[in-house]
A and B are shown apart, each in its own frame.
Chain A
């Protein structure tokens, strides 16, 4: 059992040269049977397991991860947390997630470094300024802390923005969410893993799920085949991001999702130059600066289906040329690292959550390029759905059934960029 982290523990371990910290979580062999199996050890899978134990008293749970926890998108994203969504269902869900993030370091006893530095989204035309005003009004009606800012305010908030009047894409205004910000992605994964483990959850790494077992008569899920043998459970959750359709194929149904590579870039470390998250939907780019000083840059996903965890050059060029149009002084900055994660998009860019066509099998997928911010609320609502068999009220709008009813939650128009 890992110990509580505190200033006192830090001091005590410093005295012994920090050599005797206990493991943060166990590495058990899988048991033959569990009450619940969660496939995928990213933020959503681990948070689901944590809330199953914490909120519903179900701790006979295994999280089964094919690689190492956080090795998927939860450890590959640009860590932006915000809730500036347009539709009421999205606003309620994502704002719940931001609220949970605000208390998460304390709840998990793990510093997730949530920094509410604010997001600024700039607008480049009269039309876009009007559009943002409409968005901000709608979001305000949904209770989200949004405000529009003038052109001058944009340059005050971020003095290195391209303010030349003859810019190809002049900045005419923007919108700000003050409660938004960034968090340390690995810490969110590790914090949930450690807290779930303390409540009795088994985290099984290096163990891919290779098949899903169903009862031949009822069709209900009975367990999963893995690289470490058959493990049974009457309830199974799937939280594998870009691999969701691969798991659905194993269970014998289809999901309306497409897997794409989404890239991110980190620059050499620099002195502090930008203290918010700044983005432009038109230029297809966003940037923030990490505590280590590196610029963290993201843009749009590559434009064709991919399971290769590397990005292509045309998207890289598009993102980086957008960046130097928005902040010309970054033209001389050198990149240190570039990578991609495989993200799963539905046609309306909203997640697919809740019940699947297979009894006992539950879905947490379709996060696309925006599910890091959703980890706390995604885990909380998925745990509720698994425990009670009924979709949590916050995720009813995001059911798989919406595609047949054409009841889309089309956030692609409102969010505009994948973060």
Chain B
């Protein structure tokens, strides 16, 4: 069971959260100028690393706000959580 630290509510049980996939994906603009290739890249061709992943989470059964987390997909350890407008934190190697 993961203990996820919501930036607003503090550590809560994983049951309260919804995972939203890879973080820091910016919708390409303007839509009419984007090639099919680039739309597909934005929509489907995401990063799926064996290791550190920046991802979105929603505290659906708490404050209902979205935030970001850096989580290792092998150990499941969450190294940091941060607000949407904060930059991805640097982690020591």
- Contact: A245 with B48, CB < 8 Å? yes
Q: Tell me if B32 is interfacial: C-beta within 8 Å of chain A.
A: no
Assembled-state Cα–Cα distance A313/B1 (Å) = 6
Chain B residues with CB under 8 A of A147: none
Choose one: B18, B36, B73; the contact of A259 (CB below 8 Å).
B73
CB contact between A256 and one of B21, B45, B75 (< 8 Å): that residue: B45
How many chain A residues touch the partner (CB < 8 A)? 25
Q: Which of A220-246 contact B (CB under 8 A)?
A: 243, 245-246
Q: Are A403 and B14 in contact (CB under 8 A)?
A: no
Residues on B with beta carbons closer than 8 Å to the beta carbon of A404: 36-37, 40
Instruction: Give the chain B neighbours of A259 by CB distance below 8 A.
Output: 48, 50, 73
> B45 contacts which chain A residues (CB < 8 A)?
254-256, 403
Residue contact A243 to B50, C-beta cutoff 8 Å: yes
In the bound complex, do residue A303 and residue B74 qualify as a contact, i.e. CB atoms below 8 Å apart? Answer: no
Whole-angstrom CA separation of A171 from B18 in the bound complex: 29
Report whether A306 and B2 are in contact in the complex, using a CB–CB cutoff of 8 Å.
no
User: Knowing A312-B1, A314-B14 touch, does A307 contact B36 (C-beta < 8 A)?
Assistant: no
- Return B70 CB to nearest CB of chain A, in Å: 12
Instruction: Give 28 CB contacts A-B under 8 Å.
Output: A243-B50, A245-B48, A246-B50, A249-B49, A254-B41, A254-B47, A255-B48, A256-B40, A256-B44, A256-B46, A258-B21, A258-B46, A258-B48, A303-B18, A303-B19, A304-B19, A304-B55, A306-B73, A307-B50, A307-B73, A307-B74, A308-B74, A308-B75, A314-B1, A314-B14, A403-B44, A403-B45, A404-B37
- Interface residues of B, Cβ cutoff 8 Å to A: 1-2, 14-15, 18-19, 21, 36-37, 40-41, 43-50, 53, 55, 71, 73-76
